[in-house]
Amino acid sequence: MTTDFTATRDAFVLPEGMIYLDGNSLGPLPKAAAARVAQTVTAEWGQMLITGWNKAGWMDQPARVGDRIARLIGAEAGTVVMGDTLSIKVYQALASALAMTPTRKVILSDSGNFPSDLYMAEGLCRTLGADYALRVVEPEAVLDAIDETVAVTLITEIDYRTGRRHDMAAITARAHDQGALTIWDLAHSAGALPVHLAKVGADFAVGCTYKYLNSGPGGPAFIYVAPRHAETARPALSGWLGHESPFAFDLDYRPGRGIERMRVGTPPVLQLAALEAALDVWDSVDLADLRAASLTLTDQFIKGVEAACPDLALATPREHDRRGSQVSFRHPQGYAIMQALIARGVIGDFRAPDILRFGFTPLFIGESDVAKAVDVLAEVMAKRLWDRLEYQTRAKVT
Amino acid sequence: MTTDFTATRDAFVLPEGMIYLDGNSLGPLPKAAAARVAQTVTAEWGQMLITGWNKAGWMDQPARVGDRIARLIGAEAGTVVMGDTLSIKVYQALASALAMTPTRKVILSDSGNFPSDLYMAEGLCRTLGADYALRVVEPEAVLDAIDETVAVTLITEIDYRTGRRHDMAAITARAHDQGALTIWDLAHSAGALPVHLAKVGADFAVGCTYKYLNSGPGGPAFIYVAPRHAETARPALSGWLGHESPFAFDLDYRPGRGIERMRVGTPPVLQLAALEAALDVWDSVDLADLRAASLTLTDQFIKGVEAACPDLALATPREHDRRGSQVSFRHPQGYAIMQALIARGVIGDFRAPDILRFGFTPLFIGESDVAKAVDVLAEVMAKRLWDRLEYQTRAKVT
């Protein structure tokens, strides 16, 4: 298929005059999502009430939606289920993996990982006891750090600050070679570029849906378990909807079939409705086309900014296969610069200590947007427009 | 205040001809929730995009909404926060409590608890190691079973099947007397009757919002931590939004202030919007009035059914202070009877193996509804209308 990016752009609500380079933080509203959520609220919840669990298909939704995510991350059918938040899914995958490698006590991660992954791993280690440890190395040192002491690697493929991409195939192969399992965090990968979980032989993967997949604020997370582990992985977060027979109300837990056991509690039906509508956009998207378009846009942005803004230092690797779908620059005044950009309708975000982060999502961003964004950034830098008190004052959340 | 139950009834969407006695499973749609969710989707997500986290107040929503729940469960301001599912919150409370009582290894619960609570406790014990155990006794044996080996009690105040109510004050006092902590699951208490967490000195409490609080399918859970523990409880599920400074993106976890540390990942903004609107109804409700009305309705139902349906055995304690806001009857053909009732517009639910469960929520159920429900049940029983193949065939979910 050839992807029609004019059509995908038309599928989103984009406020007039805004160039939204922050779809890697919160994707924009798909037009169909508003109607779908309204239908779920009024026609399903309002009219079906409790019977909606069957009649409206709410109960099967986490697996049904999971299958649609599976296609986007190169996973086999029936290996992905939705629910909870990414942090919870990290914990769940980690606990399962550690239980599968009982003679090893080390979780290996890197300092480029999203902090919540590290925090959840810390929390799990503390719960498991003093034998367990989280080992955090520099991103460049991950491959060599995988040795026979490592139980599981917990790596985010795309760095949330710099956009640096790990070599998923090489790390997975090395981990397996050393007898370790792998958990891939796809927060900045799913919907950003082709992912090949099955092909690389990943063991577990987790991700969120409110970034490139556009499910809306607080949309549910997903978890992937490789088919070879699906019937043996034991969920530490063993909730009733992961039970073999939830409505038998047995006192003892028996894990459900395959990926179903990774469900925990009652699924967030309204958020899942928004996600289902958001995924409709993806039905007409070829991920190879998406990647090609993303690289065109990011190359254009890098070239334009480097030519016009000598004070900004590229933080993202230049090579195509070493980066995701975002471009980041460093500047000591990064926070104020981003505020000045936002005031002028170019929305990116700032990540401490000095990163200006811009996400490029070809579903709704085109070359003319990139050109305009470069112009605005060039003006902000050339005229030092960021140097105002109003832009220097930090809000609680950026 | 005197509660106007005509006004509260008018605040809900109730399908024509339906008598909804299942608000204890999924509350009906508050009229204001549809508009509130639509506004959050189109005006906030659609127009504010990423800036909604500040501008629309999404980031503070879990604590802001938590404070409104606090009033309904007798909790101090600043002690409740929203997020995740009830199962996850059970795990979080348990892990915190066990870490606070390191010399004890026993979680005490009862066989009347909702199975997911037991499953989560089992999963945590397995993660913690062989020293830890979940001890499950009969509901009547709980008080005597609290001894100096018990680290924490995990008790659901109102039994999900029978409506039997535990004595929260007595169990909490006994636990403290024996040096144990308490976790109260308020799934069938919050919004069903007055709860006095602070007054009884509860340590932790958890609950869901999609039952009596009417937040919609998959609405978020809440967790309460007593002020005396708020700065020492260490969350095992240590996610970034529970960090002291989430947007500093530190590599090491430092728990946030007080109840904020019990946040984990990104909150479900759309579900929280529905909940906020649902809580508006509660602003004009006096919980003493609610309880009085609930007892009138449940007394009426018990009396009516016992007079008309001699084959149904009351499973709910008769004494007011020993039950919640539901009434359950046992019958070997309970499943088929409930299907026959549902086909006639009286919605309750069935809980294996033989329980017919009816929830009474004075916000939208009145005495005439109860009278009609009794009539329909009497007819179903007298004419054996349940004895049809179509009612005997079980759906996957009831």
Q: Where in chain A is the domain with CATH 3.90.1150.10?
A: 5-31+285-392
> Is residue A302 predicted with pLDDT exceeding 90?
yes
User: How close, in Å, is residue A197 to chain B by CA atoms?
Assistant: 24
In A, minimum Cα distance to B125 occurs at A236
CB contact under 8 A, A119 and B240: yes
pTM of the model: 0.97
User: How close, in Å, is residue A398 to chain B by CA atoms?
Assistant: 8
Mean pLDDT, range A137-150, rounded to an integer:
98
User: Which residues of chain A make contact with B29, given a CB cutoff of 8 A?
Assistant: 41-42, 45-46, 49
* pLDDT, tens digit (0-9, with 9 covering 90-100), for B27-59: 999 999 999 999 999 999 999 999 999 999 999
Of B115, B240, B398, the CB nearest to A116: B240
Q: Is A199 a catalytic residue?
A: no
Distance in Å from the first CA to the final CA of chain B: 38
For residue A210, list its beta bridge partners: none
The predicted structure's pLDDT at residue A116: 97
- Which one of A89, A122, A264 makes the best mutation probe of the B interface by having the most chain B beta carbons within 10 Å? A264
User: Which residues of chain A make contact with B110, given a CB cutoff of 8 A?
Assistant: none
CATH of domain B33-282: 3.40.640.10
CB contact under 8 A, A236 and B124: yes
Tokens, residue B52? 């909604």
Counting DSSP H helices and E strands in chain B, the numbers are 15, 13
Residue ranges, chain B, pLDDT below 70:
395-398
- DSSP conformation class of B263: -
User: How close, in Å, is residue A222 to chain B by CA atoms?
Assistant: 13
CA B384/CA B369 separation, integer angstroms: 22
* pLDDT, tens digit (0-9, with 9 covering 90-100), for A225-266: 999 999 999 989 999 999 999 999 999 999 999 999 999 999
The predicted structure's pLDDT at residue A397: 46
CB contact under 8 A, A29 and B41: yes
CB contact under 8 A, B123 and A238: yes
CB contact under 8 A, A42 and B120: no
- Which one of A118, A240, A338, A365 makes the best mutation probe of the B interface by having the most chain B beta carbons within 10 Å? A240
What crossing angle do the helices spanning B61-72 and B269-282 adopt, rounded to 10°?
Answer: 30
Q: Where in chain B is the domain with CATH 3.90.1150.10?
A: 5-30+286-392
> Is residue A344 predicted with pLDDT exceeding 50?
yes
The predicted structure's pLDDT at residue B395: 54
Q: Is A132 a catalytic residue?
A: no
Which of A22, A159, A185, A354 is the catalytic position? A185
The predicted structure's pLDDT at residue A396: 46
Q: Where in chain A is the domain with CATH 3.40.640.10?
A: 32-282
CB contact under 8 A, A47 and B95: no
Domain A32-282 -> CATH class: alpha beta
How many beta-carbon pairs under 8 angstroms link A with B? Answer: 296
Q: Is A210 a catalytic residue?
A: yes
The predicted structure's pLDDT at residue B62: 98
CB contact under 8 A, A129 and B129: yes
Active site amino acids of B:
114, 185, 210-211, 357
Residues in contact with A383: Cβ distance below 8 Å, sequence separation at least 6, in sequence order: none
Mean pLDDT, range A311-325, rounded to an integer:
98
Which of A68, A263, A351, A357 is the catalytic position? A357
Which of 3.40.50.150, 3.40.47.10, 3.20.20.70, 3.90.1150.10 is the CATH number of B5-30+286-392? 3.90.1150.10
> Is residue A395 predicted with pLDDT exceeding 90?
no
CA A15/CA B213 separation, integer angstroms: 35
CB contact under 8 A, A218 and B91: no
Of A218, A237, A342, the CB nearest to B123: A237
User: Which residues of chain B make contact with A249, given a CB cutoff of 8 A?
Assistant: 115, 161, 351-352
What crossing angle do the helices spanning B31-39 and A31-39 adopt, rounded to 10°?
Answer: 170
Fold of A5-31+285-392: Aspartate Aminotransferase, domain 1 (3.90.1150)
* pLDDT, tens digit (0-9, with 9 covering 90-100), for A58-111: 999 999 999 999 999 999 999 999 999 999 999 999 999 999 999 999 999 999
CB contact under 8 A, A217 and B58: yes
User: Which residues of chain A make contact with B92, given a CB cutoff of 8 A?
Assistant: none
CB contact under 8 A, B37 and A41: yes
Cβ(B98)–Cβ(B151) below 8 Å: yes
Q: What is the 3-state secondary structure of B68-124?
A: HHHHHCCCCCCCEEECCCHHHHHHHHHHHHHHHCCCCCEEEEECCCCHHHHHHHHHH
Tokens, residue B372? 């009609």
In A, minimum Cα distance to B239 occurs at A116
Q: Where in chain B is the domain with CATH 3.40.640.10?
A: 33-282
Identify the three-state secondary structure at position B65: helix
